[in-house]
Amino acid sequence: MSNFGIDDSFIAEQNQKARPWVEEDYEHLTKKLRRQNVEIEDLVNKAQAFRVAVPSWGVGTGGTRFARFPGMGEPRDIYEKLEDCGTIFKLVRSTPAVSLHIPWDKPDDATKLRDFANARGLSFDAMNSNTFQDQPGQKHSYRFGSLTHPDKAVRQQAVEHNIECIEIGKTIGSKAHTVWIGDGGNFPGQQHFRYALERYLESMREIYAALPDHWRMFIEHKFYEPAFYSTVINDWGTSYYCARELGPKAFCLVDLGHHAPNVNIEMIVARLIQFGKLAGFHFNDSKYGDDDLDSGSIKPFQLFLIFNELVDAELSQIANFNPAYMLDQSHNVTDPIESLMMSAVELVRAYVQAHLIDRSALTEAQDKCDPLLALSILKQAFTTDVAPILAVGRERAGGAIDPIATYRQSGYRQRKGEERPARKVAAASGIV
């Protein structure tokens, strides 16, 4: 049975319906930006050049430790996940790469998987290891840690798993490996802080040694959860120390949800850029903790301020500045395809808005110690509605003017509901 896919002519047909408003708004914005000496076509080019990877685990419905409410037509294996990622890419055009999580996505045949993805215009982003869960048949448990476990045999098993991820990644064309561990302590006294970090470095050195020359290693920090008292790689400072200890291929990855509320994340980003150690991002949004909400849904201004730092670095042509952008979210009550599309669009929006900042005026306001003017320069860019730029960029690249409406109109989810009858699974809750 051939699987349903949204075809180009359907997208073009839907785009026709939105043409009148796009043309009108684009024309108006062209004039408005010209008054600011901004050429709108330059921004369309920027929008079209922006790329963000999609996590394979993001296309399945997420859950909390309380419950998981499965959606209709959920992907049941990595091939179906890639189908959904291909659909997202088709509609928004900014998401050609997919990030795999092993063993969740362990391929039966890595070459077959690569060809399947390539046939849909997809490629593979960073690999992700999983030593925060036990797998069936696994010899040693990660209950009390993995790369930092006091028992060398457990650490060795975790190191080997990471090396296996790199091996799979080599076949499918990945060029980075992300390591996030849940290791830490739930009670004071449970873990010796210094010894645990020493063991981490010892394990990571072995993994680092297995990296091919052109690969990068991404260290992902997180301040708590699953450990509730202490976490080994708890913040960007620890991550930076480890990246420096490991060598030039190691960098620090910023997942927006992995910080205490109100932490100035844009400043962390600026520091990591300055120190030449910014790996990239796991984009999501949060209100309380690692909520894994859709990008821009809670703190769009923070997202814009992060992109202000990124665009500033881009325009300053900082050497080796090459951040990897990825979404890392868990969609519990929405259709994951819709949430991921919306999130990708929000990132392009923040990126384009950050390009609208009048940087010479901002520098002048900073030099003249005029905080109000500096803020208003940022606000002017942030409050500019760049939606027509994003829509035109997508349409010219063959995508949808309105990705969500086009997706809903296509009946994709209903068709997948028929094609992918749910399999009986034991677990009713759990992270993705």
* Binding region for ligand PSV (CB under 6 A): 57, 128, 180, 220, 222, 255, 282, 290, 328, 431-432
Distance CA 285, CA 296 (A): 6
Q: Which stretch binds Mn ion (CB under 5 A): 267-275, 281-289, 302-310, 347-355?
A: 281-289
Pick one of Mn ion, ligand PSV, none as the site partner of residue 183 (Cβ within 5 to 8 A by kind).
none
Q: Which does 236 bind (CB under 5 to 8 A by kind): Mn ion, ligand PSV, none?
A: none
Question: Token pair for residue 75?
Answer: 């992907």
317: left (phi > 0), else alpha (psi -120 to 50), else beta? left
- Toward ligand PSV, which CB reaches closer, 277 or 394? 277
**Partner whose binding site includes residue 346, from Mn ion, ligand PSV, none (CB under 5 to 8 Å by kind):** none
From Mn ion, ligand PSV, none, interface partner of 290 (C-beta below 5 to 8 A by class): ligand PSV
Q: Which does 395 bind (CB under 5 to 8 A by kind): Mn ion, ligand PSV, none?
A: none
Nearer CB in complex with ligand PSV: 220/402: 220
Q: Which of 221, 282, 299, 416 binds Mn ion (CB under 5 A)?
A: 282
Cβ proximity to ligand PSV, 374 vs 432, nearer residue: 432
Nearest distance in Å: CB 105, Mn ion: 15
Separation between Cα atoms, residue 350 and residue 300, nearest integer Å: 8
φ, ψ of residue 430 to 5 degrees: the values are 135, 155
Closer residue to Mn ion (CB): 204 or 256: 256
C-alpha to C-alpha distance for 16 and 396, rounded to whole angstroms: 13
Contact residues for 144 (Cβ-Cβ < 8 A; gap 6+): 150
Long-range contacts of 63-67, Cβ-Cβ distance < 8 Å, separation of 24 or more: 63/330, 63/332, 63/428, 63/429, 63/430, 63/431, 63/432, 64/332, 64/429, 65/429, 65/430, 65/431, 66/429, 67/428, 67/429
Alpha-carbon distance 381 to 397, whole Å? 25
Which does residue 431 touch among ligand PSV, Mn ion, none (CB within 5 to 8 A, set by kind)? ligand PSV
Give the E-state strand segments of 230-308 in sequence order: 230-231, 250-255, 278-283
Binding-site member from 74, 80, 292, 328 for Mn ion (CB under 5 A): 328
- Closer residue to ligand PSV, CB minimum distance, 46 or 299: 299
- In whole angstroms, how close is the CB of 280 to ligand PSV at the nearest point? 12
What x/- string results for residues 196 through 235 when contact with Mn ion is judged by CB under 5 A?
----------------------------------------
Does position 177 bind Mn ion by CB under 5 A?
A: no
Whether 107 contacts 78, CB under 8 Å:
yes
For residues 327 and 57, the answer to whether their CB atoms sit within 8 Å is: no
Q: How far apart are CA 335 and CA 345, in angstroms?
A: 16
* Residue whose beta carbon is closest to ligand PSV: 180
Measure the CA–CA gap between 237 and 233, rounded to whole angstroms: 9
Residues in Cβ contact with 13 at an 8 Å cutoff, skipping those fewer than 6 apart? none
Write down the residue that tokens 């949808």 correspond to.
400
Distance CA 101, CA 103 (A): 6
**Beta strands in 221-357, from DSSP E residues, in sequence order:** 230-231, 250-255, 278-283, 324-327
128 makes contact, choosing from ligand PSV, Mn ion, none, with CB < 5 to 8 Å by partner type, with ligand PSV
Q: SS3 of 102, please?
A: strand
Residue 270 or 432: which CB sits closer to ligand PSV?
432
* Residue 105 interaction partner, one of Mn ion, ligand PSV, none, beta carbon < 5-8 Å per kind: none
Task: Kindly tell me which of 30 and 334 has the beta carbon lying closer to ligand PSV.
Answer: 334
Site for Mn ion in 238-257 (CB under 5 A): 255
Do you find a cis peptide bond into 107, omega within 30 degrees of 0?
no
- Closest to ligand PSV by CB, 87 or 128: 128
Q: How far is the CB of 258 from Mn ion (least distance, A)?
A: 7
Q: Which is nearer to Mn ion, 298 or 361 (CB)?
A: 298
| CA-wise closest residue to 99 among 132, 47, 52, 60 | 52
CB of 290 to ligand PSV, least distance (A): 5
For residue 293, the minimal CB distance to ligand PSV (Å) is 13
Q: Can you name the residues that pair with 104 across neighbouring β-strands? A: none
- Of 222 and 331, the one with the shorter C-beta distance to ligand PSV is 222
| CB 272, CB 236: distance < 8 Å | yes
**Residue numbers of the site for Mn ion (CB under 5 A)?**
255, 282, 328
